[in-house]
Amino acid sequence: MNRRPGPEPLLWMLFSSGGMVAALMIPILLFLFGIAFPLGLLSPPDHSHLFAVLRNPITRLVLFGLCALALFHWAHRFRFTLYDGLQLKRYGAPIVVLCYGGAVVGTVIAAVLLIRL
Amino acid sequence: MADEITLEVARYRPELESEPVMESFQVPLREHWAVLDGLTYVKDQLDGTLSFRWSCRMGICGSCGMTVNGEPQLSCATFLTDYAPGPVRVEPLRNFPVIRDLVIDIDDFMTKLPEVKPWIIRDVHSPVEEGEYLQTPQELDEYQQFSMCINCMLCYSACPVYSLEPDFIGPAAIALAQRYNLDSRDEGAEERRAVLSSPEGIWACTFVGECSAACPKGVDPAGAIQRYKLTAATRSIKDLLMPRSRR
């Protein structure tokens, strides 16, 4: 049996931490910006206030972490959905490139957007 | 209550059939009869050629695992009345080669199990005169549920990853490795690490959780695997950051 160490521990760490931060933070953000503010349940912050919050380096860092980890969570899960769910494991290499490559591209886009705010 | 129930039993006699066929038998439906009692009735009264494994009849030996109405079950702990009015479909455990009728080939599991060294490993054994290795109730709680495993292989039969990846070490073997890793008397975690944290070890598991749902003894192999994933991942990141501390 094959006993070589692989990148799996790192990918799994990204997957599990991504799942945790996404589960903790995305419902709150969705509730605030998707339901509560548009429906007027809570009074939304004005544009300049929100912008000031977004320009805070800690906000940017947290949002970057959320985007990057959530994307790697998606990548890992989607890779195994393709492997086992659709039984495409024979295309392992392109699937890995598509999934984790997609997460890297998404992470770079998130970083650029957050830096250019 | 009807006094009979139909057992639809998978038959595979390599000298007669090229692939399994189903055969129906009428057996008495008695209140305390398990599926295994029905099969024993068939073998004693109706067809002595029916082959199946069993030993203790009390959910301890782990020999009589079968697929009952599509679910992996211990046939001694699965009661006919729960399936009334029937029929009850009895097939061999899935994901294993069938040798004959309900008898499966367990060589794969028997090869994998010792690879995780499921026994107490000590760097130095203290002499018997020094007495037992003492343990607190909290230390016992750490591993006790994993020690309930009876090697019945229902979890392998339930595991969709094992059906796709026959090299996967599998739920019971990993849970049993954790039974010793989490035992305060054991010092063998390092020896088990290479096998457990290989691609065919914990990393093959996608946390479907069917193993824990199928376990007749309340063991949580899926939990054991997830817990070891954290251990292994933390450990490999430590190795990456501090390569010199590697033992």
- As a dihedral over the C-alpha atoms of residue A23, residue A26, residue A31, residue A34, rounded to 10 degrees, the angle is -140
Residue B111: its chain A contacts at CB < 8 A? Answer: none
Say yes or no for a CB contact (<8 Å) between B199 and A12.
Answer: no
Mutate to test the interface with A, among B112, B236, B237 (most CBs of A within 10 A): B236
- Predicted confidence (pLDDT) per residue in B176-228, tens digit: 999 999 999 999 999 999 999 998 999 999 999 999 999 999 999 999 999 99
Residue B197: its chain A contacts at CB < 8 A? Answer: 5, 9
3-state secondary structure of B35: helix
At B96 the pLDDT is 97
The pairing of strands B103-104 and B88-91 is: unpaired
Q: Which of A4, A12, A89 sits opposite B233 (nearest CB)?
A: A12
At A5 the pLDDT is 59
Kindly list the structural domains of chain B, giving each domain's residue range(s) and its CATH number in brackets, ordered by start: 4-104 (3.10.20.30), 107-245 (1.10.1060.10)
Q: How far is B115 from chain A (nearest CA, A)?
A: 10
Predicted confidence band at A7 (pLDDT cuts at 50, 70, 90)?
A: confident
Per-residue pLDDT of chain B (247 residues; tens, 9 = 90+): 579 999 999 999 999 999 999 999 999 999 999 999 999 999 999 999 999 999 999 999 999 999 999 999 999 999 999 998 889 999 999 999 999 999 999 999 999 999 999 999 999 888 999 999 999 999 999 999 999 999 999 999 999 999 999 999 999 999 999 999 999 999 999 999 999 999 899 999 999 999 999 999 999 999 999 999 999 999 888 888 887 765 5
Q: Is the pLDDT of residue A3 over 50?
A: no
Q: Which of B161, B200, B237 sits opposite A1 (nearest CB)?
A: B200
| CA contacts within 13 A on the Cβ side of B207 | 12
A 10 A CB-CB count for B95 gives 21
Residue A80: its chain B contacts at CB < 8 A? Answer: 206
Quick one: which H or E segment has residue A99? helix A92-115
Comparing alpha-carbon positions, the chain B residue that sits nearest to A16 is B230
At A2 the pLDDT is 45
Mean pLDDT of chain B: 94
Rounded to two decimals, the ipTM of the complex is 0.77
A2 phi and psi angles, rounded to 5 deg:
-70, 130
At A4 the pLDDT is 52
Predicted confidence band at A39 (pLDDT cuts at 50, 70, 90)?
A: very high
At B84 the pLDDT is 87
Q: Which residue's structure tokens are 């006919």? A: B80
* Cβ contacts of B212 within 8 Å, gap of 6 or more: B155, B171, B219, B220, B221, B222, B223
Kindly list the structural domains of chain A, giving each domain's residue range(s) and its CATH number in brackets, ordered by start: 10-115 (1.20.1300.10)
Q: Is the pLDDT of residue A112 over 50?
A: yes
Q: Is the pLDDT of residue A1 over 50?
A: no
Q: How far is B233 from chain A (nearest CA, A)?
A: 5
Say yes or no for a CB contact (<8 Å) between B236 and A84.
Answer: no
Alpha carbon distance A107, A105 (integer Å): 5
Interface of B with A in 193-212 (CB under 8 A): 194-195, 197-200, 203, 206
Q: Which of A6, A16, A84 sits opposite B164 (nearest CB)?
A: A84
